[in-house]
Amino acid sequence: MIEKADIVIIGGGVQGCSIAYNLAKRGQKNIVILEKDTVAHGASGRCGAGFRQQFGTEMNCILARDSVKIFEQLSDELEYDIELNQRGYLILAYTEKEVNQFRKNVELERSLDIPASLITPEEAREIVPCLNTEDVLAATYCPTDGNVNPLLTTFAYAEAAQRLGVKLYQFTEVQKIETDKHGIREVLTSRGRILTDTVVNAAGGHAREVGELAGVEIPVYAQRHQILVTEPVEPLWAPMLMSFSRNFYFQQLPHGSILGGYGDPEHEIIGHNTGTSWEFAATMAKKMTSLVPILSNVRMVRQWSGSYTMSPDSQPILGEHPQLERYYMSLGFSGHGFMLAPITGVMMAEYIMEGSTYLPIEKLNITRFERGELILEPSVV
């Protein structure tokens, strides 16, 4: 194993691989990615992989919009077909409160050149003819939202990074990050030590522990999130179907299978559990068949789970740790890490190499929790 590196990235998920690729693309040399299993083994390879630009805060809209711009040309850039499709997100409103929020969201989104619109239940049914619109008061629709194959995207970033000279060590676990009064000194791994003064924590569900390995506190935790997928069937409808108040998201993928999940922050297991529950499958099946009744005869073939890395305000933590110089973090995405990885990879690379980014990163600094400046995003599942 290499003995010395300019930058050590911990975590071979989409964040780590995107950051490594963007650093190398900007000319950074001697980058190492350490991954304790294989690339995309954690949440990156377990996520729903939808991307949307329909958010309720300006920052999230801009991050998502710019991430989608990168997704749109990423297959060409990385020389790997990541199976991009832009079939839109249809987000359903079931309460007056939601309708009011969506009206504000759409106004904000349109002011930022995101082509979302507020539509009626009848218009929603024109987009998705098999949709049960009972109790639906309105919906928002953005045709340029979509999804990609999360596994291929992560492998594509990892391969492109390696073509630019990044070294990837898989099955290599970080055991300790040694520091002294000047900052980081070295990273001890299960396969030897690497001298470095710069570490990027992109460890996803394990981010808190990777903080502890360097003696710094990071207020995030892993929480299980479950998904199920059906057998592939003929094309039934196009966009992602989503609701915040009824708590679901599911979509038919280009391949034909239907994939979706819901959030259960009150009951889901906290920690690194990747098992599954019967209750999830039954509840998700109820949600899916009541919204799209023709799904009753479509068969579920698999359910699985992965970790959301939850931060105190469910927004990512980006930037340097105030207690340890050159200890950078790209973590705590709380369920939106995959869709933001193209843009956060660019931002982190700019920030590490130049000390600033073209989008303001300060708002997402870890010190916001002490300052009490939490970011309140109204539109999350």
Partner 1 sequence: MDDNTIICRCEDVTWGEIRKQLDKGYMTLDEIKRITRAGMGPCQGKTCQRVLLHAIARYLNKRVEEIQISTYRPPTKPVPLGVLAGGQDD
Q: Which is nearer to partner 1, 185 or 302 (CB)?
A: 302
Of residues 75, 101, 273, 289, which one binds partner 1 by CB under 8 A? 289
279, with CB counted inside 10 A (0-12, 13-18, 19+), is: exposed
Of residues 231, 325, 362, 370, which one binds partner 1 by CB under 8 A? 231
Cβ atoms of 365 and 332 closer than 8 Å: no
How many other CB atoms are found less than 10 A from the CB of residue 271? 10
Sole window of 102-110, 140-148, 205-213, 277-285 interacting with partner 1 (rule: CB under 8 A): 277-285
Of residues 73, 190, 296, 356, which one binds partner 1 by CB under 8 A? 296
Q: Which is nearer to partner 1, 2 or 301 (CB)?
A: 301
d(CA 259, CA 48) in angstroms, rounded, equals 7
* Strand pairing category for 327-331 and 248-252: unpaired
Q: Does 57 bind partner 1 (CB under 8 A)?
A: no
Of residues 295, 343, 346, 349, which one binds partner 1 by CB under 8 A? 295
d(CA 307, CA 147) in angstroms, rounded, equals 19
Q: Does 376 bind partner 1 (CB under 8 A)?
A: no
Q: What is the DSSP string of 238-278?
A: -SEEEETTTTEEEEE-TTS-EEEE---TTTSPBSS-----H
Q: Which is nearer to partner 1, 224 or 368 (CB)?
A: 224
Q: Does 272 bind partner 1 (CB under 8 A)?
A: no
Q: Does 302 bind partner 1 (CB under 8 A)?
A: yes
Cα–Cα distances in Å, from 50 out to 25, 47, 282, 307, 343?
A: 26, 8, 22, 16, 15
Of residues 285, 353, 375, 380, which one binds partner 1 by CB under 8 A? 285
Q: Which is nearer to partner 1, 247 or 289 (CB)?
A: 289
d(CA 283, CA 334) in angstroms, rounded, equals 22
| Terminal-to-terminal C-alpha distance of the chain | 42
Q: Which is nearer to partner 1, 248 or 328 (CB)?
A: 248
Q: Does 151 bind partner 1 (CB under 8 A)?
A: yes
Sole window of 58-66, 151-159, 334-342, 373-381 interacting with partner 1 (rule: CB under 8 A): 151-159
341 token code pair: 């990885």
Of residues 286, 322, 370, 374, which one binds partner 1 by CB under 8 A? 286
Interface ranges with partner 1 (CB under 8 A): 38-41, 45, 151-152, 155, 159, 230-232, 255, 274, 276, 278, 281-282, 285-286, 288-290, 295-304
